[in-house]
Amino acid sequence: MLNVMGKLYGLVIALRNALYDRGMFRSYSLGARTISIGNITTGGTGKTPLVAYVADVLAEAGEKVCILTRGYGRSNPRERVLVSDGTNVLVDARTGGDEPVELARKLICKAIVVADADRVSAAAWAKDKFGITALVLDDGFQHRRAKRDLDIVCIDATNPWGEMIPAGLLRESLDGLKRADAFVITRSNLVESTDDIRSALKRKNAQAPIFESRLNIARATDLAEFLNRAGEEATHEIENKSGVLAFCAVGNPKSFVSQLELDGFTVKGVRSFADHHVYSQNDIDQLETEARSKDSPSLVTTAKDAVKLPGLKFTLPCYVVEADVIISDADAFRDLIISS
């Protein structure tokens, strides 16, 4: 049944794409350099760190950057929210969405962040209010109403595609990859080889360059310090990586655990919640009970999760893992962004 529904969904998406390709559905210029970072699948593909990376490159090149994002999981998805004015984070995760707030914190003094389902309208507003010269579309590959100068598609090395939703993760058929200008195979360090993925991408789109990315855990910071120091260097980091209890509400929790283990953490237990889960005090209490039962001295979580934890009480140490993205052939990737 799910496969049948997936085929019907795929036909609808294929028709929509054909109407855009033939000009029967209109795409609108956003009036500034526009770079889209997107996926062909649902779930976590490691896209958010790449959005931050691209915004950082543009800011370093002197652009006035704005990230436009839908802001999944926020309390009022129809409302336009200025998450960051480039200097301050203005809202909490419930209002702005967990990933937009995570991006806003990471890009203090580098990018403005706006959450709005209507990227075309939001772009015009941001340009008028802030004098934006470069726009980064977060999760923009299927948002064809907005024209873009560069279309980058993230492919998760640990789970690249599969069946069409709802049977699998694919948002559209692999033929959609023909629209991409570049590919980034994310989490490349968590698999033995990316050769099969590269071959499949080249069969669909021989012209688009293929890059690879991996995450490197830069620090694991005390939660209280993390929440109080957006944009500042950490001073209180984890000392004992042995026996931690990991928890997260992300699209690909297995990759988070694999990354922890790769970077020297001994993970005694894992608790995963649905993507964009809003934490309660009861959740924290249960996590700490589980940690104690496993003799885990501390908890670790992601920055995306940490922005949803203000106001909740912890009796065990909780640390926030922050990762930097490493791009293969970084100079060529930077040149691609700057020249778009």
CATH of the domain at 159: 3.40.50.300
pLDDT band for 3, please (50, 70, 90 cuts).
confident
Q: Where are the alpha helices (DSSP H) in the chain?
A: 2-21, 47-60, 93-96, 98-106, 119-130, 195-204, 223-228, 253-262, 281-293, 303-306, 330-338
**How confident is the model over 205-218, as a mean pLDDT?**
95
Same domain? 210 vs 220: no
Between the two ends of the chain, the Cα-to-Cα distance in Å is 43
Same domain? 92 vs 241: no
pTM of the model: 0.93
Q: Which residue has the tokens 């980091």?
A: 237
pLDDT given at position 84: 97
Cβ 323 vs Cβ 217: under 8 Å: yes
pLDDT band for 182, please (50, 70, 90 cuts).
very high
Same domain? 48 vs 125: yes
pLDDT above 60: residue 231: no
- Other C-beta atoms lying within 10 Å of the C-beta of residue 199: 9
Same domain? 128 vs 261: no
pLDDT band for 278, please (50, 70, 90 cuts).
very high
The parent domain of residue 235 ranges over 215-324
pLDDT given at position 238: 85
**How confident is the model over 251-279, as a mean pLDDT?**
94
pLDDT above 90: residue 60: yes
Pairing status of strand 210-222 against strand 134-138: unpaired
pLDDT band for 203, please (50, 70, 90 cuts).
very high
pLDDT band for 291, please (50, 70, 90 cuts).
very high
**How confident is the model over 304-314, as a mean pLDDT?**
96
pLDDT given at position 211: 98
d(CA 268, CA 246): 8
pLDDT above 90: residue 156: yes
- Other C-beta atoms lying within 10 Å of the C-beta of residue 15: 9
Q: Is 61 left (phi over 0), alpha (psi -120 to 50) or beta?
A: alpha
pLDDT given at position 230: 66
Cβ 48 vs Cβ 322: under 8 Å: no
pLDDT given at position 167: 87
Same domain? 186 vs 334: yes
> Mean pLDDT for the chain?
93
Same domain? 194 vs 223: no
User: How many domains does the chain contain in total?
Assistant: 2
Cβ 106 vs Cβ 138: under 8 Å: no
Same domain? 194 vs 78: yes
Same domain? 250 vs 207: no
pLDDT given at position 317: 96
| Residue 54 structure tokens | 């691209």
Instruction: Please give the share of the chain, as a percent, with pLDDT higher than 90.
Output: 83
Same domain? 52 vs 196: yes
d(CA 278, CA 57): 32
Same domain? 145 vs 282: no
**How confident is the model over 68-75, as a mean pLDDT?**
91
pLDDT above 60: residue 300: yes
| Residue 67 structure tokens | 């990230």
Same domain? 55 vs 169: yes
Helix (H, G, I), strand (E, B) or coil at 93: helix
**How confident is the model over 70-89, as a mean pLDDT?**
94
Same domain? 148 vs 247: no
pLDDT given at position 214: 94
| Cβ within 8 Å of residue 164, ≥6 positions away | 6, 7, 9, 10, 170, 172, 173
**How confident is the model over 290-298, as a mean pLDDT?**
96
d(CA 83, CA 85): 7
Q: Where are the beta strands (DSSP E) in 208-285?
A: 210-222, 244-248, 267-272
Instruction: Please give the share of the chain, as a percent, with pLDDT higher than 70.
Output: 98
- Other C-beta atoms lying within 10 Å of the C-beta of residue 315: 10
